[in-house]
Amino acid sequence: MNQSIVPTLCRYIIAICLFIVPLKILEQGYLPADDALRHAAKVISGKSWDQILVLSDKIKTDTHPGWHSILELVHKTTGCDQFGLAGFSVIMLFFIFCFVTLLFLEFPESWFLALLTISLVNDHFVYRIFSGRPYIFTMSALLCLCFLWPKLKTDRPPYRVLLLLTLLIALSVWIHGTWYLFILPVSCFFLAKEYKAGLRLSIVSAIGIILGAVLSGHPKLFLSQNITQALLIFGSNTPQRMLAYEFQPFEGDVLTVIIVC
């Protein structure tokens, strides 16, 4: 077989596996335990959040407008029920997260080996990438940034890369909502003294955040509400046992650090 065909064939096989793996998991009766179900339920019910959840008076608008718009489109197009929407969330977000590696890695099968390794030492990680929650799209956007960032420090502005990152950040803000998280990678570039890349990413992030907020239909309220929600979450004195899992104290994961080293 022609050697040039082998890598292409391998990529096609991996792309097919990206659909088969979550399908086989769902076939076993798996459903996410939390947010993916409420997102699907909101779309099916057609109700606003204040009719479904007990919300603070400070929460005035949907924090995931993009994701609900996508699920509504899928529901209207296919007629699938709440279980179908939850399954779609699991399959598509896992596919998007892993498909990024097909675009950038010379040997994308190494990504599966990395996922297998981390899954053996930290089984909770497997659940997170199959949770069907919109933050996985933000993870995918960040993964693209990790592959593309060296192009941000070239002398000639990489317009295609800048446009792609702007689009990904805008979609991430529209779908996931937590726009302030993009302050973290920007800060990392400046801390690493990659000033040119940091400056370009700052501009790209600002434009992407504004575009994502505009897509929400209520840009000012959308941006301010995300900050308000974060302050409400981390500014309360709620007992530890009543906190969501991701807000509880973390004991560390020494085994993962050892494996990586």
**pLDDT confidence of residue 120:** 83
Clarify whether residues 4 and 99 are in a common domain. Answer: yes
61: confidence class by pLDDT, cuts 50, 70, 90: confident
> CA of 100: how far to CAs of 40, 105, 116, 249, in Å?
25, 9, 17, 31
Length of the chain: 261
113: confidence class by pLDDT, cuts 50, 70, 90: confident
CA distance 159 to 229: 34
Domain boundary among 133, 157, 187: 133
Domain boundary among 133, 167, 200: 133
Contact in structure between 59 and 49 (CB atoms under 8 Å): yes
Clarify whether residues 222 and 110 are in a common domain. Answer: no
Q: Is 1 exposed, middle or buried (0-12, 13-18, 19+ CB in 10 A)?
A: exposed
pLDDT in tens, 213-226: 999 998 999 999 88
Helix 82-104, helix 35-45: angle, nearest 10:
120
Structural domain boundaries enclosing 173: 136-234
| DSSP state string for 222-237 | HHHHHHHHHHHHHS--
The rounded percent of the chain whose pLDDT value lies above 90 is 40
What average pLDDT does this structure show over 169-188?
94
| Per-residue 3-state assignment (H helix, E strand, C coil) for 179-205 | HHHHHHHHHHHHHCCCHHHHHHHHHHH
* 150 alpha-carbon distance from chain centroid: 22
pLDDT in tens, 120-157: 887 777 888 898 999 999 999 999 999 999 999 988 88
Per-residue pLDDT for 2 more than 60? Answer: no
Clarify whether residues 228 and 124 are in a common domain. Answer: no
Within a 13 Å sphere around the CA of 107, how many CA atoms are in the beta-carbon half? 3
Q: Report the predicted TM-score, pTM, of the whole model to 2 decimal places.
A: 0.88
254: confidence class by pLDDT, cuts 50, 70, 90: confident
What average pLDDT does this structure show over 7-28?
86
Clarify whether residues 60 and 184 are in a common domain. Answer: no
Per-residue pLDDT for 191 more than 70? Answer: yes
Clarify whether residues 33 and 96 are in a common domain. Answer: yes
Clarify whether residues 166 and 81 are in a common domain. Answer: no
Has residue 230 been placed in a domain?
A: yes
Contact in structure between 152 and 196 (CB atoms under 8 Å): yes
Clarify whether residues 145 and 110 are in a common domain. Answer: no
Clarify whether residues 120 and 146 are in a common domain. Answer: no
**pLDDT confidence of residue 4:** 67
CA distance 105 to 82: 35
Clarify whether residues 82 and 5 are in a common domain. Answer: yes
Per-residue pLDDT for 234 more than 80? Answer: no
Clarify whether residues 147 and 218 are in a common domain. Answer: yes
pLDDT in tens, 193-219: 999 999 999 999 999 999 999 999 989
Per-residue pLDDT for 54 more than 90? Answer: no
Clarify whether residues 155 and 121 are in a common domain. Answer: no
Domain boundary among 133, 149, 170: 133
Clarify whether residues 127 and 4 are in a common domain. Answer: yes
